[in-house]
Structure 1
Amino acid sequence: MTHVLDALPLDFTDPKVQQLETALIQTFPTAGDLRMVLRKSGISEAYVNLLQPTAAAWQEVLDVARKQDRLRVLVAVVIREPNSAAIRPMLEALLADTLAATPSAEAPPPDEPIAWKSDPTPDGLERQIGAQSTLLDVSFLQRGIEISPSVVKLVVTLNDEMRYNGTGFRISDDLLLTNHHVLFDDQGPATTVEAWYGYERSFAGATREPQVIACDQGTIVGRKDHDWAVVKVASPLPAQARPIEIAGAPTPAVADRVYIIQHPDGRVKQIGMVHNTVVKVDDDRIGYLTDTEGGSSGSPVFDEQWRLVGLHHRWETDVVGGRRRIYNQGVRIERVVEGLAAAGVVLEGAA
């Protein structure tokens, strides 16, 4: 049996992983603590969004550490820290626990040979597998390509003089929408903002050189409660980056599918579109299983008609049927539209 620290991906529903996560959150609760642990573990903080809440940041740290095969190194680093005295016995026991695999025997053969069963219907060569069809018109791909240029990578300098990655998208002639936590920290708005247009990879694998567009940090406006913020570009965006319409889409329902164009971890533009079902909807938020990573904060969330339904901002967790469930979460775009109006933000040339 694979040790919990060696499982890939790391299983956050495992009680031992949850115990480790809780202990780290309680013992190292600040962004400075996380930076120290990352540095000593040989993990670049560029892979982690340290502006998010501590619980979310620590889960991201553990996930990145496992993907980089440095989770055991991280645990060993923590064990040596002076303020780890209370959790040190648990951590040492976790490292020492090899969880030797139980010997297994081959299953006995079945009494009768197992044959493939065919569909008894006369026209049963093909069929829909699930309760809901996943087939889409091929024009879905074309529309996604048309919208994609409007999504940009953001490189932000905050008041700690550190540079952070995020995602944003054009909603008017000169305005980009992203998350409040991308453009603000506890000391106020960002000191510099860059929009990287066209930072993508060709199908052949070549990374395209982005067009870096400066933004005017003096125009930053945002609201923390619904985690939105906008900033104006200081020079025109390319014509291909058309403003994305932010109003008029119906509210998604549970089991609908949503798609997220994003710059995960500050990398080239990607799309999350697998196991992308909506699992939760309330007046303010949409929960979904669409994949994101640190750096995806501020990405647009689209329905199957490429209508904007949400502003992605973080992951969340709840308990369903006695089991912990992890999902991603976006702010419903209606709440953002209301916030923009209340703040007096004018969308010139909006779609």
Structure 2
Amino acid sequence: MTELAAADRRRLVRLLADVRELGAEESRRDLLDLAGLGALVPNVDVSGSPAEAADRIVHALTEYGRVPAGRHALGLFLNVVKVLTGEEQQETLAGLLYEYDLMTPVVRTPVIGTWRGTATGMARRADTALPVAFLSAAVAAARCVVDVVVTTATTSWSGTGFLVGPDLLLTNNHVLPRADLVLHTTFRFNHQAGADGGPERHHDHGGAPGGLFHTSKALDYTLVRLDGRPGDRWTYLPLGAETVAVGDRVNLIQHPGGQPKQIALRDNLVEYAGGGVVQYTTPSFPASSGAPVLTDEWRVCAVHRASGPATDRRYFRNEGTTISAILRDLPIAVRAALPVGGV
């Protein structure tokens, strides 16, 4: 059992009590479920005021300790909550996650500046039937999505990235902002659960020493070369000028909250597209920074970069930088390094 210092516990409970999404019993259960802790929900008392519920949740998850996959229950929960808080609160939660070795903190997530979609984000389309081949294509696309873990002398953080060539990976600038961090970064392939629910064997790659590194803070993307050619095994998502429109569905493959790879299908609606950004609502935990946003044809149209508050109890606001904007921004020499076709 991990025992928080009394002062840290009080600070954590106060922080959680102020999180809007923890204001009601139903949403408290939802967040526990989104953190992969649904099996524990019946054993956690989430009733009462926000402060009372926060105190009970912290106590229950601390007592429970680590889940079968090895991650701490409290760490999983705090990583989910972290994305829903402001900058100062994210720093506090990251410090607790790191200090008590609860879990690698997810990278600090930017907040959407201006939401251009509808007020509720609840518009839905009825056409959900798809060919079975949609599933096999999803599995193929998911192979190249990786867990990005950056470790420095004083801290660590995690995000998501995906291969766009045999040895080229795309993620966010706020996940991998500087070239000197590349050699301190693990790019973890196949970090996911198998059909039996147990973890599959993951495969780690590093960055190529002195390899290509190009980043843009303004558009929030980083293109980096990895050692070897992992794309020969794991495939890659070629970059093209894919476009989406309001009302389209998008699909996301991600490592939410540093958890094993997950996929969010069908009920993710585009609310705005233009000016180099795509904004969309999802009924699941906001995608990890750097995750690919994909069309129903499994072509990448954007890189997830920011999140906002839920539009209601379960629909979260998200924003990505379009691939078209990234391609326009790339220097000619860097763009020439990208493959022409896919695999």
Distance in 1 of aligned mates of 2:203 and 2:175 = 20
Q: Is the 8 A contact 1:173 1:347 kept in 2?
A: no
Q: Cα distance, 1:35 vs. partner? A: 4.3
Displacement after TM superposition at 1:30 (Å) = 7.2
Query: Which has the bigger relative contact order, CA under 8 A and spacing at least 6?
Result: 2
Alignment of 1:132-143 (within 5 A): 132-143=126-137
Q: Look up the match of 1:74.
A: none
Question: Which has the larger Rg?
Answer: 1
TM superposition score normalised by structure 2: 0.64
**TM alignment of 1:50-69, pairs within 5 A:** 50-53=107-110
Structure 2 match to 1:280: 272
Partner of 1:332: 322
User: Structure 1: which 5+ runs fail to align?
Assistant: 57-129
Cα shift at 1:258? 0.2
Residues 198 and 208, structure 1, Cα contact 8 Å, conserved in 2: yes
Superposed, 1:292-331 pairs within 5 Å as: 293=285, 296-316=288-308, 326-331=316-321
Tell me which residue corresponds to 2:193: 201
CA–CA distance in 1 between the matches of 2:207 and 2:173? 16
Maintained 8 Å contact 1:193/1:216: no
Q: Which amino acid aligns with 1:334?
A: S
Residue-pair matches, total: 260
| Aligned twin of 1:224 | 217
Deviation, structure 1 residue 329: 1.1
1:149-170 superposed Cα distances (whole Å, 9 cap, x missing partner):
1111111125x63221111111
Q: What does residue 85 of structure 1 align with?
A: none
Cα distance, 1:248 vs structure 2 = 3.5
Q: Is residue 2:202 matched to residue 1:184? A: no
Match of 2:321, SS state, is strand
Q: Distance in 2 between matches of 1:319 and 1:144?
A: 27
Q: 1:300 to 1:217 in 2, by over 3 A?
A: farther
**Does 2:239 correspond to 1:246?**
yes
CA contact (8 A) 1:199 1:208 kept: yes
Cα distance in 1, alignment partners of residues 274 and 202 from structure 2:
37
Deviation string for 1:121-155 (max 9, x for gaps)? Answer: xxxxxxxxx75411111111111122221111111
Report SS of the residue matched to 1:289.
Answer: strand
Please provide the CA RMSD for this pair: 3.8
Q: Is the 8 A contact 2:165 2:338 kept in 1?
A: yes
What is the letter of the counterpart of residue 51 of structure 1?
R
CA contact (8 A) 1:258 1:290 kept: no
Q: What residue is the counterpart of 2:26 in the other structure? A: 8
Q: Percent of aligned pairs with the same residue? A: 25
Contact 2:244 2:301 in 1 (8 A): yes
Measure, in 1, the Cα distance between the counterparts of 2:284 and 2:157.
Answer: 16
Normalising by structure 1, we get a TM-score of 0.62
